[in-house]
Amino acid sequence: MCSSYWNQAVDIFMSDRFCLYRNIAAVIGTAYVLRFLLKKLWALSGGFCAYFLAPWGISRINIKKYGSWAVVTGASEGIGRGYALELARQGLNVAIMSRSREKLEKVEEEIRSKYNRDVRVIPVDFSEGQSVYDDIQAEISDLDIAILVNNVGTGIGGESYFSQVDPLRHRKVIELNCQSMIQMTHLVLPKMLEKKKGIIVNIASILCLFPVPLSTVYSSSKIFVLHFSTALQTEYKSKGIIVQCNSPGYVATQLVGLKKATWWAVDPVAYGRSSVATIGLQHHTNGCLTHVFQKKMVEMLLGQKTAIPMLNIRRKYFLKRQSEKQKKEH
Separation of alpha carbons 104 and 196, rounded Å: 31
Separation of alpha carbons 235 and 283, rounded Å: 13
Beta bridge partners of 201: 149, 244
In a 3-state reduction of DSSP, which class is residue 245? strand
Residue among 51, 66, 133, 218 flagged as catalytic: 218
Q: What is the side-by-side strand order in the sheet with 145-150?
A: 119-123, 93-98, 69-73, 145-150, 198-203, 241-246, 284-285
What backbone phi and psi angles, to 5 degrees, belong to 246?
-110, 120
Quick one: which H or E segment has residue 181?
helix 180-195
Amino acid (1-letter code) at residue 111? I
How many other C-beta atoms are found inside a 10 Å radius of the C-beta of residue 144?
Answer: 11
Query: Which residues are within 8 A (CB) of 321 and not within 5 positions of it... i.e. 6 or more apart?
Result: 158, 159
Q: Do residues 200 and 232 touch, judged by C-beta distance below 8 A?
A: yes
Q: How many angstroms separate the Cα of 14 from the Cα of each of 2, 10, 27, 28, 69?
A: 18, 6, 16, 17, 66
Separation of alpha carbons 104 and 81, rounded Å: 9
Does the annotation count 218 as an active-site position? yes
In a 10 Å sphere around its CB, with 0-12 CB exposed, 13-18 middle and 19+ buried, how is residue 169 labelled? middle
What amino acid positions are annotated as catalytic residues? 218
